[in-house]
Amino acid sequence: MNRRRKLMLGNWKMHHLRSDLVKFGTEFRQSLCSPLASVLEQVDVGIAPSFLCLETLTAQFPEHGWWNVAQNAHYAATGAFTGEISIPMLHEIGITKILVGHSERRQYFAESDQVVGKKVQACFERGMHPIICVGETLEIRKMELAEKTIESQIRAALQHCPPGSSFTIAYEPVWAIGTGIAATARQAQDMHQFIRRVLADLFGESVAIALRILYGGSTKPENISELLSQPDIDGALIGGASLDGGSLARMINSAVSV
């Protein structure tokens, strides 16, 4: 029995306007099994909305322990990078957690392993907690190179990781994201166990056992319990099913009861 608390995060990607948030919040709170403050005593919960929704969401969920997460940030603290957001800018509005290396950033915005490594390093230097996303494509899996790929993504992301750094890993197989075809609980557990072995190799057994590894990719209220009951699955990074307040709340209810 491990002692890691479950962490349930919604990733809204480029969805939801600020004007959607009141309805979302009402439905979310109504569908939770108990008041949000009590839920947060048992599991960690949060959302990564668009940058423009971050402050509104902070105001809407002031409960202690709620995670307000940015979806991305540049590795430079300041500079001529039109259209980018820096870590100090996020700090200024109270954000301390960032998704780094999501597969959509890698796929559509050409984020290489090297860039992901620089972003993670910048997070550690500036006191941010990165949620580091890794995942293989279907082609890579079919070639039986999934583990090798995940290992090299993790090693590149954490190459400048000082001892004692705080971070989370999210395993999101690219073939499962937005496809409706989640990894089976067995597939996900096997990869999470492998990731924990890589982390043990990098940082030692006692560190690896304490780190949280989330699963992401077509999670929904119907499949979340089975995934969360696997020994090395410590929570979920939820895309489409987090957009509806009721659906996200039901998934969190499952995390409370596994």
Exposure string over 64-73, b if 16+ CB within 10 A, otherwise e? eebbbbbbbb
- Regarding 188 and contact with ligand 13P (CB under 6 A), the answer is no
Six token digits for residue 190: 């096997």
- CB-neighbour burial class of residue 165 (10 A; exposed 0-12, middle 13-18, buried 19+): middle
Alpha carbon distance 153, 146 (integer Å)? 11
Residue from 240, 245, 250, 252 that binds ligand 13P (CB under 6 A)? 240
Give, as ranges, the residues between 217 and 236 that touch ligand 13P (CB under 6 A): 217-219
Residue from 239, 250, 251, 253 that binds ligand 13P (CB under 6 A)? 239
Binding mask 5-24 for ligand 13P (x = CB under 6 A): ------x-------------
- Looking at the DSSP bridge assignments, the partners of residue 70 are 98
Q: Using the 8-state DSSP alphabet, how is residue 152 labeled?
A: H
Residue type, 61: F
153 vs 204, beta carbon nearer ligand 13P = 153
Residue from 238, 248, 249, 251 that binds ligand 13P (CB under 6 A)? 238
- Regarding 71 and contact with ligand 13P (CB under 6 A), the answer is no
222 catalytic residue (yes or no): no
Alpha carbon distance 239, 55 (integer Å)? 20
226 catalytic residue (yes or no): no
Only one residue has tokens 């999101």, namely: 172
87 vs 131, beta carbon nearer ligand 13P = 131
Can you give the C-alpha Rg of the chain in angstroms? Answer: 17
Q: Using the 8-state DSSP alphabet, how is residue 175 labeled?
A: G
- Regarding 173 and contact with ligand 13P (CB under 6 A), the answer is no
Q: Which of 104, 111, 136, 172 is catalytic?
A: 172
Q: Which of 74, 102, 104, 136 is catalytic?
A: 102
Q: Which residues bind ligand 13P (CB under 6 A)?
A: 11, 102, 172, 177-178, 216-219, 237-241
Which residue numbers are catalytic?
Answer: 102, 172
